């Protein structure tokens, strides 16, 4: 069940040959060794006993449903427009994910009952118990086994289990997380790592001397994450969202705690203060096979670079985004292709609360796309808009060339070309800026798999840690870098006399307040291309973390990511450092010094009681960058994943002749041409992820055809 690679894992580092990279991708993980006495004892349980254990596990599900009825009658659920609503939109499950998770939860509850009644009383440890259960099929003839087999035989569109690079790290080996009695609280870690914005700006001024990445690097990182990874929260049995905090952002009374709750709690201020609370609901579970075993989390995304965040993760979601006229996607048309905006939720079959946290405000701007995260911030809205426009531009070109083509053929052809352009920008232009050119070339080394593999899924380590590196690079504000605020968007190397901001990030997260127009999006795009990204480090801008000792006004993304890493059972940072850096066993803080700057390491020592406790996301974002944007450990995890994504692209079935020839017709497209053809910008830099410079000159958009 678990992809336990350990030292055989893909340890991608600079200088590794492409051939050895290919070999490691094919290495099977070793099996757990189970004590013969443990094997004999559990094998000795009768089939009737296993049926009984499953029934007892399912009884706990029924008790949970009665609790949920009480919570709903007490109106303890996520309210539209609340802070918890904002967080829900980041992890919003669809109906199919809820159905998957419900069956997986039944399997987990049954497994936990085996652990508590058979393993614990006989001194069988959680990891060894889990190792046995992973190979123990659900009882023949049980309803649960029938439900599980039916699910696995169905067409599971975009929801599979995250795979694991290392074995899960749980207190009981199966699902119980390590909490504040063992580890520092996630919110306290975020607060301790935070540096006031003026100090961060001073640090960035020093970095600016040689930093050449613009904000596009972070913007597109988020877009890629939306495509490949979407862990979603558990829901109540009727689909209602779970709330773990009261409406004053304080802890709920114990009788109102849902079993899936793991709220993020701050320390109470003062003698009579109350601890603040941010909602965190444990991630939905996935069915990996029809055996007993520990928790596996569900990825609602497709795990494939296919623009599913724009088009939808399922055919049903895609239909909601289609206009069914001339092969187009829905849009908010403003008279010309370059003025079109994303469709509003009011113009789709979606409800308002599925995309924005405006509450009852009916007239607020709220865009729709294939993913609930489209309105997460203006950077996100912009790149979704670019690819929506590009699809409709392609459909119009194809209709002119092939007037007899049906809407279906136009749509599928435009989508195929749009996805191909997107993939090439990501793999050939964005990825080298993240990993460096050498490591990217190894990722793109041609693989020749011996046989077609099943869906290659996304690793937990990528999905909930390494892919989130970009949050460290986002500033609080996007400056308006249009010179004198006119329409001649040329590079302005001099800070305006009276600098203005296009938006403040914390004000826009799932609550679009900007008056969105085509001109406003052009202003945002121009400024993204000309504003430096922050350097990745362990201190996030105040707009995405809550560092004040007051009732929170917005969520804390770093605390959320730390909590989710523990929820998903990620191993501590040092475990990944060992397998990624090939330095041998880590034995103390001193082994971190080669990878983490002294000031960051000193903070960690003051936060964590032991070097063995450092969370993966905390260690990963603190590392010195290596020939790209990220450090050695995140570079290892990212390259391992993108090598598999690239391999899956090579395993695609042969395209129909008309599709293959179309893709060839659009091979001239790159990132700068994509932006030119889908905006009113006069110029774009040749490399859209670097600031314009003598070595990255501007191209004239009027000459792009």
Q: pLDDT tens digits, residue range 94-140?
A: 988 999 999 999 999 999 999 999 999 999 999 999 999 999 999 99
User: So what's the pLDDT on residue 24?
Assistant: 37
The domain ranges of the chain are: 308-536+635-703
User: So what's the pLDDT on residue 155?
Assistant: 75
Q: pLDDT tens digits, residue range 420-466?
A: 999 999 999 999 999 999 999 999 985 655 444 445 689 999 999 99
Q: Rounded distance, CA 201 to CA 539, Å?
A: 11
Neighbours of 335 (CB within 10 A): 8
User: So what's the pLDDT on residue 364?
Assistant: 72
SS (H, E, C) 32-87: CCCCHHHHHHHHCCCHHHHHHHHHHHHHHHHHHHHHHHHHHHCCCCCCCCCHHHHH
Q: 246 CB contacts (<8 Å, ≥6 apart)?
A: 76, 252, 277
Alpha-carbon Rg for the chain, nearest whole angstrom, is 25
Q: Rounded distance, CA 294 to CA 287, Å?
A: 11
Q: Rounded distance, CA 218 to CA 473, Å?
A: 6
What CATH topology corresponds to 308-536+635-703?
A: Myeloperoxidase, subunit C (1.10.640)
Low-confidence ranges of the chain (pLDDT < 70): 1-32, 158, 200-210, 268-273, 347-353, 360-363, 446-456, 483-499, 653-657
User: So what's the pLDDT on residue 488?
Assistant: 53
Distances (CA, A) of 496 to 6, 175, 491, 693: 52, 54, 12, 19
Angle (deg, nearest 10), helices 632-650 and 18-25: 80
User: So what's the pLDDT on residue 493?
Assistant: 36
pTM of the model: 0.92
């Amino acid at each position: 069940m678990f992809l336990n690679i350990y030292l055989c894992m893909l340890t991608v580092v600079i200088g590794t040959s492409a051939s050895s990279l290919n070999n490691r991708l094919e290495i099977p993980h070793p099996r757990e060794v189970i004590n013969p006495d443990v094997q004999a004892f559990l094998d000795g349980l009768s089939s009737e006993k296993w049926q009984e254990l499953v029934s007892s596990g399912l009884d706990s599900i029924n008790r949970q449903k009665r609790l949920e009825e009480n919570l709903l009658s007490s109106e303890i659920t996520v309210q539209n427009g609340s802070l918890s609503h904002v967080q829900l939109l980041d992890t919003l499950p669809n109906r199919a994910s809820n159905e998957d998770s419900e069956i997986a939860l039944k399997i987990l509850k049954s497994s936990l009952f085996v652990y508590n009644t058979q393993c614990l009383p006989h001194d069988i440890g959680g990891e060894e118990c889990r190792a046995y259960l992973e190979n123990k099929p659900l009882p023949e003839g049980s309803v649960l086994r029938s439900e599980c087999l039916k699910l696995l035989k169905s067409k599971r569109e975009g929801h599979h289990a995250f795979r694991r690079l290392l074995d899960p790290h749980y207190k009981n080996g199966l699902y119980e997380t390590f909490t504040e009695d063992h580890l520092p609280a996630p919110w306290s870690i975020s607060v301790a790592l935070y540096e006031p914005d003026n100090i961060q700006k001073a640090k960035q001024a020093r970095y600016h001397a040689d930093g050449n990445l613009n904000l596009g690097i972070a913007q597109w990182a988020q877009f890629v994450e939306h495509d490949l990874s979407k862990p979603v929260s558990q829901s109540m049995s009727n689909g209602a969202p779970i709330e773990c905090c009261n409406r004053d952002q304080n802890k709920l009374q114990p009788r109102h705690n849902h079993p899936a709750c793991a709220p993020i709690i701050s320390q109470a201020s003062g003698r009579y203060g109350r601890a603040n609370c941010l909602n965190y609901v444990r991630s939905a579970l996935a069915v990996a096979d029809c055996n007993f075993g520990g928790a596996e989390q569900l990825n609602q995304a497709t795990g494939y670079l296919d623009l599913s965040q724009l088009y939808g993760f399922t055919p049903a979601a895609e239909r909601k985004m289609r206009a069914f006229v001339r092969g187009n996607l829905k849009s908010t048309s403003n008279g010309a292709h370059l003025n079109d905006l994303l469709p509003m939720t009011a113009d789709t079959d979606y409800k308002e609360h599925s995309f924005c946290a405006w509450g009852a405000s009916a007239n607020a701007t709220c865009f729709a796309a294939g993913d609930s995260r489209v309105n997460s911030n203006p950077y996100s809205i912009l790149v979704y808009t670019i690819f929506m426009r590009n699809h409709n531009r392609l459909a119009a070109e194809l209709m002119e060339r092939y007037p007899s083509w049906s809407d279906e053929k136009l749509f599928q052809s435009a989508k195929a070309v749009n996805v191909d352009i997107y993939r090439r920008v990501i793999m050939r232009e964005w990825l080298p800026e993240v990993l460096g050119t050498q490591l990217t070339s190894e990722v793109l080394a041609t693989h020749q798999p011996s046989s077609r593999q099943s869906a290659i899924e996304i690793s937990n380590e990528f999905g909930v840690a390494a892919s989130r590196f970009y949050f460290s690079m986002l500033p609080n504000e996007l400056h308006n870098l249009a010179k004198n605020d006119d329409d001649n968007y040329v590079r302005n190397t001099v800070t305006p006399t009276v600098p203005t901001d296009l938006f403040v990030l914390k004000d826009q997260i799932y609550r679009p307040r900007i008056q969105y127009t085509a001109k406003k999006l052009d202003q945002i795009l121009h400024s993204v291309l000309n504003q430096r990204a922050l350097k990745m480090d362990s201190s996030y801008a105040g707009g995405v973390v809550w560092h004040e000792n007051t009732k929170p006004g917005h969520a804390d993304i770093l605390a959320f990511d730390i909590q989710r890493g523990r929820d998903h059972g990620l191993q501590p940072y040092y475990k990944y450092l060992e397998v990624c850096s090939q330095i041998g066993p880590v034995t103390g803080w001193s082994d971190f010094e080669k990878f983490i700057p002294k000031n960051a390491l000193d903070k960690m020592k003051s936060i964590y009681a032991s070097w063995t406790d450092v969370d993966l996301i905390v260690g990963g974002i603190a590392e010195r960058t290596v020939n790209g944007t990220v450090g050695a450990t995140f570079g290892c995890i990212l390259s391992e994943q993108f090598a598999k994504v690239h391999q899956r692209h090579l395993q695609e079935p042969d395209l129909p002749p008309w599709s293959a020839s179309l893709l060839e017709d659009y091979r001239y497209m790159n990132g700068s041409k994509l932006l030119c053809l889908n905006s009113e910008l006069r110029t774009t830099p040749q490399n859209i992820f670097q600031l314009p410079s003598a070595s990255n000159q501007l191209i004239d958009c009027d000459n792009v055809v």
